[in-house]
Amino acid sequence: MGKLVADIIVETLQSAGVKHCYGVVGDTLNLIARSLEKSEIEWVSVRHEEAGAFAAQAEAQVADRLTAVAGSCGPGSLHFINGIFEANRNRAPVILIASQIIRDELGFDFIQEVDFKQVYRDCSVFCDMIHTPEQARRKTVIACQTALAKRGVAVLIVPADISASVVDDNIPYAVHVARPVTRPSDADLAEIAEILNKSENVVLYGGSGCQGAHQEILSVANKLKAPIAHTSRAKDFLEFDNPYNIGMTGMLGNEAGYHALLDCDALLMLGADFAWRQFYPDKAKIVQVDIDPTHLGRRHPITKGVVGDVKATMASLLPMLVERTDASFRSAYVKRYAKYRESERAKVAVGHDGSIPGTYLTQVISRHAAKDALFTADDGTPAAWAYRHIEANGQRRIFASLLHGTMANGMPSAIGLQKAEPGRQVVCMAGDGGISMLFGDLMTVVQQELPIKIAVYDNGKLGFVEIEQKAEGMLDTFTKLKNPNFAGVARALGLWGETVSAADQLETAVKDWLAQPGPALLHVHVNPMQLVMPPFMQVEPTIGMALYSARAILHGRGGDVWEMVRENFL
Ligand SMILES: Cc1ncc(C[n+]2csc(CCOP(=O)(O)OP(=O)(O)O)c2C)c(N)n1
Ligand SMILES: [Mg+2]
């Protein structure tokens, strides 16, 4: 008996593990929507498709399962693009069903015609159209399988006449996902062991590939008496229960991690593809372990690169390493890191005049949030504060746009996390710029009855960009934001909403906010002059700040300079 292609597509998505499909319905998608309604997949209506893509990629990451988004033809499926870039860069298995105008009109600039294959080619691991009704099942299977196996976005373009076709569907194509354990050859392992055994001071440097390998990494660090530095993305996996931790490197990092990498003789990179080349050592031998062979040596020249899962590779390497007794190099950096943490803690306090620095707000949130809370943070100062001031414990997770670096990721990602984990506390740290960008999807939070807790870090500006401009010696340009009372807007939309401006009221406000049973938005006026300091005072930013100060004073804005100095240096 014949089967409707729309049903075949949805059935295949369901068998591949899809639980939610985020999107906005319309014309060419309507038949698929009807099939979805009959299926076990839950449809989540969003207000802007971009928000749906952010949500899907967050769900895909936290639940480690294929998650779907679907759009109508033309603008509908085009709107996902920024979230699709985010998903693909985060290696999140997401499938976009991009519905298309009928085949007969393709190629004639028909109304709403968009060549999705061109548009999505650079941000997907699979991008193809179902050309005939007969190939519907096979192509949907291979799209799902590619997203899961290559870990990224599959874009499946589905012309409306194909969804509406009925075909004989009796060939049992099905999604197969293999999860092999990969480790380097014995010869490769022997070579790595020799480099590490012969080096004096070794540092381990972990990236997001360290997920699930905590114990094996600590065993290697113990044997080599090596400190462990990590990227921001690896914070969730390496900061907790780790006496050898020396924190993050990079612009968000600290000086212990930064200097250890520059001072070591051998660097063992584990599942790290950190992009900024200036943070790599020039004189040390670098050994890189990565599951993706294309990552080996692509950021900085390396001595030896091997392919493997971090967990399996460390377990195989351990017996080949010579146990050391001298832990003085490691102790020096662990102490340096402890000193940095202490001084950071001392610095994080109520601002002058009782104002609320973003760092202080983040510490209060960290103190009161659940032990297994899921955090999202908008690109901008909220992401910087999240990675520096949310305490990791092995259960908490932080989701920020570290690879794509997009604004507005926070609140929509929180939607996906809460859909995936209805029982967990989900906290979004939003910028005033970030939240405004996809503001409409606060209505999705309400419509879906998701008890997400949103804190808006309202500094009245595009703060991070203003810091960049100041570091370049510029006066702030086009960064001001004229904001509404976000709490009032939240209440009008159906969320709980409160505003807080004084530091002495913050603790109570945060507790009230987190205790709300439903969606809640805390609007916090944060100190607008707080800077994100790099782990070292680079020469360029220092000169830049001096130039900015000189220009600001010349423009009669000496008060701004004084406030910036007072909030950050005094
Ligand atoms: C979609 C997008 N547009 C622009 C930028 C450039 N950008 C990076 S951070 C930022 C400012 C963010 O402002 P806000 O959300 O208010 O956070 P703040 O840094 O002020 O705390 C901008 C404009 C970007 N990363 N993504
Ligand atoms: Mg801002």
What pLDDT is recorded for position 396?
98
- Residue 408 Cα to ligand 1 midpoint, Å, equals 8
Residue showing tokens 């906290």? 427
pLDDT in tens, 285-294: 999 999 999 9
Averaged confidence pLDDT in the chain: 94
Cα distances from 212 to residues 95, 338, 523, in angstroms, run 25, 25, 36
What pLDDT was estimated at residue 534?
Answer: 78
- Which residues are CB-contacts of 11 (< 8 A; sequence separation ≥ 6)? 35, 39
Residue whose CA is closest, atom 8 of ligand 1?
380
For residue 302, pLDDT beyond 90: yes
Burial label for 197, CB within 10 Å (0-12, 13-18, 19+), is middle
Residue given tokens 């049903």 in the structure block:
7
8-state DSSP, 96: E
Positive/negative CA dihedral, 249, 250, 251, 256: positive
What is the predicted pLDDT for the residue at 522? 98
Q: Which atom of ligand 1 is nearest to the CA of 437?
A: 1
Q: Whole-model pTM?
A: 0.95
Please report how the helices 136-150 and 5-15 are oriented relative to each other, as an axis angle in degrees rounded to 10. 30
Measured from the Cα of 462, ligand 1's closest atom is 13
pLDDT over threshold 70, residue 542: no
Instruction: Tell me the two tokens of residue 310.
Output: 């971090």
- Give the residue, by CA position, lying nearest to ligand 1 atom 21: 381
For the Cβ of 466 lying below 6 angstroms from any atom of ligand 1, the answer is no
Confidence label for 348 from pLDDT (cuts 50, 70 and 90): confident
Return the pLDDT at 480. 97
Kindly give the distance from the C-alpha atom of residue 432 to the centroid of ligand 2, in angstroms, as a whole number.
Answer: 5
How much is the pLDDT for 170? 84
239: Cβ below 6 Å to ligand 1? no
H helices, E strands: number in the chain: 24, 20
Ligand 1 nearest-atom number relative to CA 405: 25
Q: 162 alpha carbon to ligand 1 midpoint, in Å?
A: 41
Q: Encoding tokens for residue 19?
A: 């639980």
Neighbours of ion ligand 2 (CB under 5 A): 431-433, 459, 463
200, 265 Cβ separation under 8 angstroms: yes
Cβ atoms of 448 and 419 within 8 Å: the answer is: yes
Distance 461 CA to ligand 2 centre (A): 4
Q: Which ligand is nearest to the CA of 382?
A: 1
pLDDT in tens, 240-259: 999 999 999 988 899 999 99
User: In this predicted structure, what is the pLDDT of residue 570?
Assistant: 60
Q: Is the pLDDT of residue 568 over 90?
A: no
Ligand positioned closest to the Cα atom of 381 = 1
Tens digits of per-residue pLDDT, 4-42? 999 999 999 999 999 999 999 999 999 999 999 999 999
Give the model's pLDDT for residue 540. Answer: 62
Cα–Cα distance list, 458 to 176, 500, 513, 565 (Å) = 47, 10, 16, 20
Nearest-atom number in ligand 1 for the CA of 467 is 19
For residue 7, how far is its CA from the centre of ligand 1 (angstroms)? 41
Interval 270-282: pLDDT, tens: 999 999 998 999 9
Give the separation between CA 67 and CA 417, rounded to whole angstroms.
12
Atom of ligand 1 nearest to the CA of 432: 16
| Residue 83 reports pLDDT greater than 70 | yes
Is residue 485 over pLDDT 90?
yes
Strands 426-431 and 397-400: unpaired
pLDDT at 558 over 60: yes
Determine if ligand 1 sits within 6 Å of the CB of residue 382: yes
